[in-house]
Structure 1
Amino acid sequence: MNFTPTELERYSRQIQLPGFGEEGQKRLKDSTAVVTGVGGLGGTVALYLAVAGVGKIILVRGGELRLDDLNRQILMTNSWVGQPRVYKARETLLNINPDIEVEAVNEFVTADNIDALVQQADIAFDCAFDFKERTLLNNACVRWGVPMVEAAMSGMDAYLTTIIPGETPCLSCIFPETPEWDRWGFGVLGAVSGSLACLAALEGIKLLTGLGEPLTGQLLTMELGTATFAKRRPYHDPNCPVCGNFTKQRLSGYVTNKKVGVRSQESGVRS
């Protein structure tokens, strides 16, 4: 897929990066990312994927914009309060970068829609507000062999990891018991969700292009009140009910082609 002169100019500064170049840009252009949750975390992830040139972004989030969302949801405007947020997010992203495709799905993640969403994607970003949606996305990513960037925050604390089915612990390994999660039960500072979102978007870009070293098999924990960061290695449970039977052989295409979004041969969809 060739670049237009506009695209070459738009992405010229990142194409200059050692180890990135036009090949890295092509990988972004050829990729589809699904982002669940389009709030202070997911919306900012989507913004940085869009300006980097990810070819298609699928935004998944039901519900309307609230006034108390506006301290952190940078794709929104005051005039949009009370309306479905994903449509405004799509409009904003396309105004910033009309060279990409953005699909707005005005639904919450459910058992009925998640497989169809994940099967379209080369990478998923887990930015949902509760663990019910996070669990559904994790399980679908494992089923279809789709890498997932997992990011979450509470107050001034945050964590981030990159999950590759068959190679790293999945969300079920990291949290074998679903944590209690009250989306109204903690304060949110926009700069905290934005900081985590930038790191999450960077993880995805690294994984899609081969730039740098992603957090595969590592959990980055952050206490942003004191700027304390630590890397930990979560347990990869061989008996995990979600990923325990997912073998490395099913990701051989990822290793040989360095192409994110490998599907199992049984799925009958593209690799």
Structure 2
Amino acid sequence: MELTPTEIERYQRQIMLPGLGEEGQKKLKSTTALVTGVGGLGGTVALYLAVAGIGKLILVRGGNLRLDDMNRQILMTDDWVGKPRVLKAKETLSKINPDVQIEAIPEYVTPDNVDILVRGADIAIDCAFNFEERDLLNEACVRWDKPMVEAAMNEMEAYLTTIIPGKTPCLSCIFPEKPEWDRWGFGVLGAVSGTLATLAALEVIKVITGLGQPLYGKLLTMELGSLHFAKHRPYHDPNCPICSKITQQKINQTLNLVNTKTNLSISV
């Protein structure tokens, strides 16, 4: 997918980055990203993907904007309180970068829509407010072999990882027992959700373009009150009810490929 003269001018400063260049920019343009939970976290992720030149955004979030969302949801305006927030997110992002295609779906992630959503995207960013939606997205991404950037926060703490089906631990491996999580039960500072969101957007860009080193098989934890960052290697459960089957399939495919090459070498 070629870049227009306008796009080359718009993105010229990031095209200058070693490891990205025009080829990386073309990869961004040809990518469709699914963002769930378009709030203080997901909305900011969508913003930075839009200004970076992602080709298409699919924004998924049910419910209307509340006044107590306004301390962190930077795509919103005060006059939109009481209306579907995902529609305002589309409007704002379209004004910021009209070259990005944006589809706004004012629904929550459910068993009925998750497969259609994931199949229509190249990568998913999980910013949902509960583990029910997060688990649904994780299962669908594993099922359809789509990468997923997982980001979540609680008060001043946050975590981030990238899930590649069959290669890294999935969300079920990392959290086999789901923590209690009340979306209105903890405080939220906009700068905290924004910090995590920018890192998540950067992770998406790295996965798409090959820039830098994504968090494959690593969990980044952050305690932003003290600015303590740490990387962990979460357990990749060989018996995970969600991802173990696809992991074994990829191992078998690799072994078959190695055996085929070995047999060819012997024959020669």
TM-score higher than 0.5: yes
Q: Paired residue for 1:116?
A: 116
CA drift of 1:204 comes to 0.4
State the distance in 2 between where 1:224 and 1:251 align.
38
- Name the CA distance, whole Å, in 2 between partners of 1:44 and 1:247: 32
Who is 1:162 aligned against? 162
CA offsets 1:77-131 (integer angstroms, 9 cap, x no match): 0000000000000000010000010000000000000000000111000000000
Secondary structure of 2:244's counterpart equals coil
Give the drift of 1:248: 7.0
Structure 1 distance, partners of 2:220, 2:120, is 28
Q: 3-state DSSP class of the match of 2:230?
A: strand
In 2 relative to 1, CA 248–4 (structure 1 residues): closer, same or farther, beyond 3 Å? farther
TM-aligned CA deviation for residue 249 of structure 1: 5.9
Please give the alpha-carbon distance, in whole angstroms, between the structure 2 residues aligned to 1:227 and 1:247: 35
CA contact under 8 A between 1:173 and 1:236: conserved in structure 2? yes
Corresponding residue for 1:94?
94
2:58 maps to a residue whose letter is I
Q: Which residue of 1 aligns with 2:235?
A: 235
Shift in Å at residue 30 of structure 1? Answer: 0.2
Task: Give how far 1:3 is off.
Answer: 1.4
Report the residue type matching 1:172 in the other structure.
S
Residue 53 of structure 1: aligned partner: 53
Tell me which residue corresponds to 2:85: 85
AA partner of residue 89 (structure 1): A
Percent of residue pairs identical = 75
**Deviation string, structure 1 residues 230-271 (Cα, Å, up to 9, x no partner):** 00000000000000011376599xxxxxxxxxxxxxxxxxxx
For residues 229 and 137 of structure 2, what CA distance do their matches in structure 1 show?
Answer: 26
The match for 2:68 is 68
Inter-CA distance 251–130: structure 2 relative to 1 (3 Å threshold): farther
Matching residue of 1:5? 5
SS of 1:140's equivalent in the other structure is: helix
After superposition, the C-alpha distances for 1:171-224 in whole angstroms (9 at most, x for unaligned) are: 000000111110011000000000000000000000000000000100000000
Paired residue type of 2:28: L
SS in 1 for 2:68: helix
**SS of match in other structure, 2:245:** coil
Q: How many residues are aligned here?
A: 253
SS of the residue aligned with 1:152? strand
Instruction: Return the structure number with greater helix share.
Output: 2
Distance 2:2 2:231 in 1: 39
Query: Per-residue deviation at 1:4?
Result: 1.3
Residues 145 and 251, structure 1, Cα contact 8 Å, conserved in 2? no
What's 2:127 paired with? 127
1:175 aligns with 2:183: no
CA RMSD of aligned residues (A): 1.4
2:27 alignment partner AA: R
CA distance in 2, matches of 1:149, 1:248: 22
Quote the Cα distance in structure 2 between the aligned partners of 1:251 and 1:129.
34
Match of 1:190 in 2: 190
Task: Structure 1 unaligned segments of length 5 or more: list them.
Answer: 253-271
Paired with 1:101 and 1:248, the residues of 2 have a C-alpha distance of: 37
Shift of 1:5: 1.1
Residues 173 and 240 in structure 1, CA contact (< 8 A), matched pair in contact too: yes
Aligned equivalents of 1:250, 1:114: Cα separation in 2: 24
Q: Secondary structure of 1:247's partner?
A: helix
- Structure 1: distance between partners of 2:107 and 2:31: 22
Matched with 1:137 is 137
Query: Aligned in 2, Cα 1:234/1:156: closer, same or farther, shift over 3 Å?
Result: same
The separation in 2 between residues aligned to 1:198 and 1:152, in whole angstroms, is 12
Is the alpha carbon distance of 1:220 and 1:80 closer, same or farther for their aligned partners in structure 2, counting shifts above 3 Å?
same
